[in-house]
A and B are shown apart, each in its own frame.
Chain A
Amino acid sequence: MTLAIRTRNLTRRFSGRFGICDLDLNVPAGTIYGFLGPNGAGKTTTIRLLLDLLRPERGQIALFGQPLNRRMRQTLGLVGALVESPSLYQHLSGRENLEITRRLIDAPRTRIDQVLDRVGLKPAAGRHVRDYSLGMRQRLGIALAMLGAPRLLILDEPSNGLDPAGILDMRRLLRSLVRDDGITVFISSHLLAEIEQIASFVGVLQAGQLRFEGRLDDLRARAKPKLGLRCDSPAHAVDLLRAAGEEIVWSDPQTLSITLSRRSPEEINRMLVSNGVGVSHLAVENVSLESLFFDLTDAIAVEDAV
């Protein structure tokens, strides 16, 4: 599998903040990779390192197999990026903003119309950017990122401030970039629901460390349903279930929570009743991806707090 981004032991710390520590990212080419994590987890730091805006304390970065560092900045020719809000010259038109970047990277003149078409900004290209709506600015930011015909698009919270229609447009655009142009999209967000809609791979970052990386389906597979159970002799029930190899946690002093992986709820109920345990409550609780995300991101926060 070709990797669009590969980092090894990538580390950059800040005093009083997490930064990132020993980050090993593997972003497959031709996919949408969702980079998830709560605010302050280190997502923007990672993106800044991937764009050589920050220098790592240690570790390596390779984009499509080509190393990236301050002496090998030509690797950045493979990348287009939108970091946080788009950087636009307000006193110039959308087309002039694109022309500045075009001149810097020596892209063909025809490329400006192509990217304007792609983001649907051609009719407004001659207007001053200061008259653009937030959604139009965001689209112009993506057009700027696409100007150099990149193989990898790095977008940091691109739907920030967009209305629902703008978010839908953005999703449609990103999907078409992957489908039609074979571009890899690395998109960071603190909103799982947003990433769930478009990404096929995810990385979950918390406190500067990667807590999960893989297919979104694998993350979903981790979200096994749980069985909530109340009975007349919980201690006996725990012994029986543990002996049967079930995973149990106490939800509260009266309720047991069993991860449903081996037996069905009916089998568990039958086993307990046949061993003299009176079951008064049995309920299947489906685990949402969101709660799994919180489990992943909370776990380390608890460890840190301890």
Chain B
Amino acid sequence: MSPLLRALSAEGLKLRHTLALRMCLIAPCVVVALFVAQMFLLGRPSHPPTDSAKAWIGLSENILTLWSLVMLPLFVTLQSALLAGIEHNDRHWKHLLALPVARRVHYLAKLFVLIGMVVTANAFLALFICVGGTLLMLVQPAIGLAGPPPLAYLSEKSACMAAASLLMVALQNWIAIRWSSFTVAVSFGMTATVVGMMVVQSKGLAPWYPWSMPTMAISFDGAFTSIAVAVALIGGIVAAAIGLMDFERHEFS
């Protein structure tokens, strides 16, 4: 087994019984549950869609926007801080970095676990949208949902969001590892998320701002999908490389 795979398997063990692992399920579940509860409580919309497919897309769009703009950036912020915090607490770096394992392996393992968590949470979101929509279909038929959920649409949007979050993930991972304070990582992520909510209203800026790229990637006319995903992928690789170089040189106390 390669050192990176061994490090990933060690990361898996570290995550046992942690909030970070449960959050992959909790965060998308909360977003979908909130939206389903809201739809249920509001009752019949004033202009219910006549086409059941459009009803599914409408529901998905609303949930995906809320997720990509607010919950996903906050999820990345929290998860990166929790993942790095496992090592900052009890000063684990001095043990890990004294092992005969290349330094980059530890950094890349953290980054890949974070990416894995984002992909998993996005997949759960798509699944929960299907479950939530089906539930609404039963308890609130007036909404107009019918037929099977749009699996292909949800899979495509989830994949786009995950890919477009790579730059945000790489930056947040670097910050959380570089500074041992949980507050620094969380404050940075929260501020960037709030700024993202403003930036997303500017079509000129939004495709270039890491925290609004996931929203732009699922823009419903598809106009910004390619650019947001491309910038996030290239930017993510560059940010990961810079973070890795910094980690190689950094001296942990």
Contacts and interface: CB of A to CB of B under 8 A. Distances in A.
Interface of A: 48, 51-55, 70, 73-77, 79, 81, 83-92, 96, 99-101, 103-106, 144, 148
A269 B96 CA distance: 64
19 contacts: A52-B98, A55-B251, A70-B103, A70-B248, A73-B101, A74-B100, A84-B91, A84-B94, A85-B90, A90-B89, A91-B17, A100-B14, A101-B10, A103-B6, A103-B7, A104-B96, A105-B101, A144-B95, A148-B100
B92 interface: yes
Contacts of A54: 251
B14 A87 contact: no
B13 A103 contact: yes
B251 A105 contact: no
Contact of B13 (A51, A75, A100): A100
Contact of A87 (B6, B9, B95, B103): B95
Given A74-B100, A96-B16, A101-B99, A89 B94 contact: no
A87 B100 contact: no
A150 to B, nearest CB: 10
Contacts of A100: 10, 13-14
Contact of B102 (A73, A75, A91): A73
Interface in B87-123: 89-92, 94-103
A89 B100 CA distance: 20
A87 to B, nearest CB: 4
Interface in B13-44: 13-14, 16-18
A104 B251 contact: no
A56 to B, nearest CB: 12
Contacts of A74: 100
Given A103-B9, A105-B100, A53 B251 contact: yes
B245 to A, nearest CB: 12
Nearest to B7: A104
Contacts of B10: 100-101, 103-104
Contacts of B9: 103
Nearest to B18: A91
Interface in B58-100: 86, 89-92, 94-100
Contacts of A73: 100-103
A116 B15 CA distance: 23
Nearest to A154: B98
Given A89-B14, A96-B13, A106-B1, A76 B99 contact: yes
Interface string B153-188: 000000000000000000000000000000000000
Nearest to A88: B90
Given A53-B94, A144-B95, A89 B251 contact: no
Contacts of A144: 95
Contact of B94 (A83, A103, A104): A83
Contact of B98 (A81, A90, A92): A81
B220 interface: no
B97 A52 contact: yes
A65 B92 CA distance: 28
A79 B95 CA distance: 12
Contacts of A79: 98
A53 B96 contact: no
Contacts of A99: 13
A101 B95 CA distance: 9
A75 B102 CA distance: 12
A57 to B, nearest CB: 13
Contacts of A105: 99-101
Given A52-B97, A105-B101, A92 B17 contact: yes
Contacts of B94: 48, 51, 53, 83-84, 87
A86 B98 CA distance: 13
Contact of B86 (A70, A84, A89, A103): A89
Contact of B90 (A55, A70, A87, A106): A87
Nearest to A12: B251
B14 A51 contact: no
Interface in B233-253: 248, 251-252
Contacts of A76: 98-100
Nearest to B251: A54
Contacts of A86: 95
Nearest to B90: A87
B99 A92 contact: no
A81 B97 CA distance: 11
Nearest to A90: B90
Contacts of B95: 81, 83, 86-87, 101, 144
Contacts of B102: 73
Contacts of A106: 1, 3, 6
